[in-house]
């Protein structure tokens, strides 16, 4: 995008890339202790979303392999590959580095669901969802079957690459061909489609999700009895309201139940609320993932939205619908009330306050009321980006215009005041 805006700064990108490689290698060396390409990076900002306090020793002993941490590293690999491809345009030595991050992504994605039936991997074929895996000291492993944002983050780790950005690098193409020759079964297993990694307009897609996995996860994501709230995507499935997950360990009961607002546990000081509320940052990442997947699958890929409604949508339309639901928290409804202000009469009715929008930390999973810190503009302000994006970009734009050119066009329009 920066190149298309005429302000490319390769020296800055190279310096940043070197620092990020150090950070990436720290995660690989410190958070994948067994070298299995699965990660256990602590709470990762999702605080109490898990069965246990994931930043503390486990009551069972052993280790916890995290679906969100592993998906995050897959996403990290994609971002590093993206930067390496830009740098390779100026220094061919980066082609081999680009391949290294591509290889990292492939092995991470494969580790989440290996060929064959296994009980110690994150993908559950019966449920069609990703879960954390608890690996006990004796070697036994079991999935912690909590349907939460943890299992949706692999969808966020979906990135498309324009055909030319890959094929114009001969050394990279040579290394890819060699990997394909050595590991055909691995590539066939992680390829997003039966036809491989090449989709609409020759684009390449990297995602832990095959087409079949994507369809199954979307079934949960878009189910209003599960994740899809009138106001966005919940952090925990509403299914767990009446059917909480319960795990016994060390003489204690560990329970995860859908809580649309504040937490009822003392974990993280009691100020941890990832068991139901809507959080803007991860919703934005889901929208990003869906738009990338749309750029690969195009208009032919459609699923029910909401699940069970009979109404079929493309991935672009689903991304736009999620954005519409998120924005509806801030906009006046048919009765003239803003869901974000909940039962506050001052903010709902007082003419001096009712148009002063607050960017809350997170939001009630059922009614959209703002909760937590009321000035969390740093991440909740991303709603303005979503409103602007879908006000400017059509489905045809997203499908037919190369990503970098489309991003540059949007920025130029914004700067020009259009």
Query: Same structural domain for residues 272 and 343?
Result: no
Instruction: Enumerate the H helices of 277-355 as residue ranges.
Output: 280-297, 315-327, 345-349
Q: For residue 177, is it within any domain?
A: yes
SS3 content of the chain, % helix, strand, coil (to 5): 45, 15, 40
Give, as one character, the DSSP assignment of residue 205. E
User: What pLDDT is attached to residue 382?
Assistant: 96
CB 239 within 8 A of CB 232: no
Q: For residue 326, is it within any domain?
A: no
CA-CA distance, 134 to 157, in Å (whole number)?
Answer: 22
Query: Same structural domain for residues 219 and 362?
Result: no
Query: Same structural domain for residues 266 and 182?
Result: yes
CA-CA distance, 74 to 76, in Å (whole number)?
Answer: 5
Query: Same structural domain for residues 361 and 219?
Result: no
Query: Same structural domain for residues 259 and 345?
Result: no
Query: Same structural domain for residues 222 and 355?
Result: no
Count the neighbouring beta carbons within 10 Å of the beta carbon of residue 331.
Answer: 12
Q: For residue 144, is it within any domain?
A: yes
Q: For residue 396, is it within any domain?
A: no
Q: For residue 325, is it within any domain?
A: no
Query: Same structural domain for residues 354 and 271?
Result: no
- Which domain covers residue 215, as residue numbers? 10-276
Enter the pTM of the model. 0.95
Q: For residue 294, is it within any domain?
A: no
User: What pLDDT is attached to residue 360?
Assistant: 96
User: What pLDDT is attached to residue 224?
Assistant: 98
Query: Same structural domain for residues 349 and 263?
Result: no
CA-CA distance, 262 to 273, in Å (whole number)?
Answer: 6
CA distances, 120 to each of 9, 123, 141 (Å): 45, 9, 5
Query: Same structural domain for residues 267 and 355?
Result: no
Query: Same structural domain for residues 191 and 263?
Result: yes
Residues of the chain with pLDDT under 50: none
Please count the structural domains in the chain: 2
Which of 276, 309, 328 is the C-terminal boundary of a domain?
A: 276
Q: For residue 59, is it within any domain?
A: yes
Query: Same structural domain for residues 37 and 138?
Result: yes
* Three-state DSSP state, 11: helix
Question: What tens digit of pLDDT does each residue of 61-76 get?
Answer: 999 999 999 999 999 9
Q: For residue 218, is it within any domain?
A: yes
Query: Same structural domain for residues 349 and 241?
Result: no
Paired tokens of 190: 């992680």
């Amino acid at each position: 995008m920066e190149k298309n805006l005429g302000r490319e700064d390769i020296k800055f990108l190279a310096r940043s890339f070197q620092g990020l490689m150090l950070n990436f290698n720290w995660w690989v060396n410190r958070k994948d202790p067994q070298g299995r390409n699965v990660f256990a990076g602590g709470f990762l900002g999702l605080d109490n979303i898990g069965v246990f306090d994931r930043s503390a020793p486990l009551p069972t002993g052993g280790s916890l392999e995290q679906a969100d941490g592993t998906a995050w590293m897959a996403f990290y690999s994609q971002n590093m590959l993206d930067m390496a491809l830009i740098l390779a345009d100026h220094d061919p030595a980066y082609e081999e580095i680009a391949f290294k991050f591509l290889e990292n992504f492939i092995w991470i994605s494969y580790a989440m669901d290996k060929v064959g039936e296994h009980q110690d991997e994150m993908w559950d074929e019966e449920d069609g969802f990703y879960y954390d895996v608890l690996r006990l000291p004796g070697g036994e492993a079991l999935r912690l079957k909590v349907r939460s944002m943890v299992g949706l983050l692999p969808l966020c780790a979906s990135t498309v690459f324009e055909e030319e950005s890959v094929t114009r690098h001969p050394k990279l193409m040579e290394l890819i061909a060699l990997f394909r020759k050595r590991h055909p079964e691995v590539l066939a297993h992680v390829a997003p489609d039966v036809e491989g990694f090449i989709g609409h307009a020759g684009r390449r897609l990297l995602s832990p999700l095959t087409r079949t996995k994507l369809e199954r996860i979307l079934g949960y994501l878009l189910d209003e009895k599960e994740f899809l709230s009138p106001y966005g995507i919940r952090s925990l499935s509403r299914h767990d309201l009446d059917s909480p997950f319960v795990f016994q360990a060390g003489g204690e009961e560990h329970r995860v139940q859908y809580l649309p607002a504040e937490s009822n546990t003392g974990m993280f000081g009691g100020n941890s609320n990832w068991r139901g509320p809507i959080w803007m940052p991860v919703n934005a990442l889901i929208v990003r993932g869906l738009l990338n997947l749309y750029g690969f699958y195009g208009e032919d890929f459609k699923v029910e939205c909401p699940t069970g409604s009979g109404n079929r949508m493309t991935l672009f339309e689903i991304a736009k619908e999620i954005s519409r639901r998120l924005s509806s928290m801030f906009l006046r409804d048919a009765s003239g009330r803003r869901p974000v202000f909940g039962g506050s009469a001052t903010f709902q009715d007082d003419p001096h306050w009712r148009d002063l929008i607050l960017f809350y930390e997170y939001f009630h999973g059922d009614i959209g009321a703002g909760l937590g810190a009321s000035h969390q503009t740093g991440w909740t302000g991303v709603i303005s980006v979503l409103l602007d994006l879908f006000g400017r970009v059509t489905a045809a734009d997203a499908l037919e215009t190369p990503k970098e050119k489309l991003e540059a066009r949007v920025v130029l329009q914004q700067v020009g005041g259009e």
